[in-house]
Structure 1
Amino acid sequence: METLYFAIALLFISYGAPANADFGEDGDPGEVYFDYNRNITLNCTIPSPDKTQSYVWKKNDVGVEQIAELKGRYKMLEEGAVFSLGRSVEDDYGNYSCALGAEERAWEVRGRPVARLPDNTNVVEGQKIKLQCKVTGKPYPAVSWYYNSSATANSSQPLKEGSRDGRVKLESNEQGIEGGALVLESAARGDAGFYSCRAGASSDHTQLRVKDMYAALWPFLGICAEVFVLCAIILVYEKRRTKPELDDSDTDNHDQKKS
């Protein structure tokens, strides 16, 4: 039984819980964060003696029934007091509100930010490199960059615009997030290490490897040297093989003249 409870808890932690928002005594739950593909549930229970009144739900001041992206994905539970949105997507963020008569409730629903970088990044010395921090979780939070010389380093060095002798630049990434892309001009061997980007409470890292600019040349030179040595051996062998043949030919000619 304990093993079963542990497995259920592990699944809950791995996949996350649906975003649920209930009003407390102050009537304001603040910001609500949700994970993608999970349900968003907003509870707007308002005591009212008038049973003829109905709950009115809106997103960004537009009735939810008028928003095409929400159709077929939400349900009204408990006589309209609970709004449940299934299989949430990134664009489900926004300002949600409900009203019952003169009473109104509101939430700021936001996607939980997740930052992503490739596991490994390779560049040749002297080349320009651009690291893209992909972020999910609208509205997108600010992105910051850090550097560690090794995986065991205890301290992270923040990377700012113009650091590394002016070679570091921060640009907008493919998603349009300002500072979401780190550009490193003319990569040097000392730039190798672990680079991480942070978006809100989420962070990810990539290991940058900087290869010697002549790394591809050495194997080619080695092949050329092997070919040169092989040709020299063949040439020496052919010379040694043809010399006895010439000597035998001279001896035969001399014998023929004597006879």
Structure 2
Amino acid sequence: SGNTVYFTCRAEGNPKPQIIWLRNNNALNMRDDSRLNLLEDGTLMIQDTRETDQGVYQCMAKNVAGEVKTSEVTLRYFGAPSRPSFVIQPQNTEVLVGESVTLECSATGQPQPRITWTKGDRTPLPNDVRISITPSGGLYMQNVVQG
């Protein structure tokens, strides 16, 4: 389970301003989630933090005379480290010379693992404009040559 996070906010005004906390520009409804609490002094307390709590937080103070917002702060959530495991493993693939091919590969883990590709005897891939790694970790090769 997660930690407890406190975001502090102090505001003065006449009449005393109402404190509203925003996550990603949406007002937080403390009644929707028992893990969220607005303390007497305006502090936002988030208990048992989880991945869905990630985002940009802002405090807004509001009364009949107007409203003011604090600068934004970002909450990032890092779960317990977990070993990488493959979601998609590359398959043996045949391709004609001159064609393009993507060898799919994808892995999960905490933090997100970085996928690297090597050739045959663990030789790093050459720097070649025809070769790129897809966002998911696949290997894309254009205009394949015999090797």
Task: Give TM-score, length-normalised by structure 2.
Answer: 0.55
Say yes or no: does 1:42 pair with 2:3: no
| Residue in structure 1 matched with residue 76 of structure 2 by the alignment | 110
Say yes or no: does 1:180 pair with 2:143: no
Aligned partner of residue 52 in structure 2, secondary structure: helix
Pick the aligned partner of 1:75 from 14, 32, 37.
37
In structure 1, runs of 5+ residues without a counterpart are 1-35, 150-156, 164-168, 172-178, 186-259
Pick the aligned partner of 1:96 from 57, 81, 85.
57
Q: Which runs of 4+ in 1 moved over 6 A?
A: 158-161
Query: What is the CA distance between 1:63 and its match in structure 2?
Result: 1.8
Task: Give TM-score, length-normalised by structure 1.
Answer: 0.35
Q: 2-side partners of 1:43 and 1:85: how far apart?
A: 12
- Equivalent residue runs for 1:1-259 within 5 Å: 37-46=2-11, 48=12, 50=14, 52-65=16-29, 68=32, 71-77=33-39, 79-101=40-62, 102-105=67-70, 106-112=72-78, 117-118=84-85, 127-128=92-93, 130-134=104-108, 145-146=115-116, 162-163=130-131, 170-171=133-134, 179-183=135-139
Quick one: which amino acid aligns to residue 180 of structure 1?
A: S
Query: What is the CA distance between 1:50 and its match in structure 2?
Result: 3.8
Equivalent residues of 1:40, 1:85 under 8 A apart: yes
Query: What is the CA distance between 1:83 and its match in structure 2?
Result: 0.6
RMSD: 4.5
In structure 2, runs of 5+ residues without a counterpart are 94-102, 142-147
Q: 2-side partners of 1:184 and 1:131: how far apart?
A: 11
Aligned partner of residue 55 in structure 1, secondary structure: strand
Equivalent residues of 2:21, 2:60 under 8 A apart: yes
Q: What are the Cα deviations for residues 190-226 of structure 1, in whole angstroms up to 9, with x where unaligned? A: xxxxxxxxxxxxxxxxxxxxxxxxxxxxxxxxxxxxx
Query: What is the CA distance between 1:158 and its match in structure 2?
Result: 7.4
Quick one: which amino acid aligns to residue 58 of structure 1?
A: L
How many correspondences in the alignment?
122
How high is the sequence identity, in percent, across the aligned residues?
A: 11
Q: Which has the higher strand share?
A: 2
Query: What is the CA distance between 1:107 and its match in structure 2?
Result: 1.7
Q: Which has the higher helix share?
A: 1
